[in-house]
Amino acid sequence: MSVITARVAKIPRVITVAPPFHGQPAPAIVAAQHLAGADAIYCLGGVLCATDLLGQVEHGLTRRRAC
Check residue 67 and give its pLDDT.
Answer: 53
**Could you tell me if residue 26 is inside a domain?**
yes
**Could you tell me if residue 28 is inside a domain?**
yes
Which domain covers residue 28, as residue numbers? Answer: 3-58
**Could you tell me if residue 66 is inside a domain?**
no
Check residue 50 and give its pLDDT.
Answer: 61
**Could you tell me if residue 54 is inside a domain?**
yes
Check residue 25 and give its pLDDT.
Answer: 78
Q: Which residue numbers in the chain have pLDDT < 50?
A: none
How many domains is the chain partitioned into structurally?
1
Check residue 47 and give its pLDDT.
Answer: 55
Check residue 64 and give its pLDDT.
Answer: 56
Check residue 21 and give its pLDDT.
Answer: 78
Q: Which of 53, 47, 52 is nearest to 15 (CA)?
A: 53
Query: Quick count: other Cβ atoms within 10 Å of Cβ 50?
Result: 14
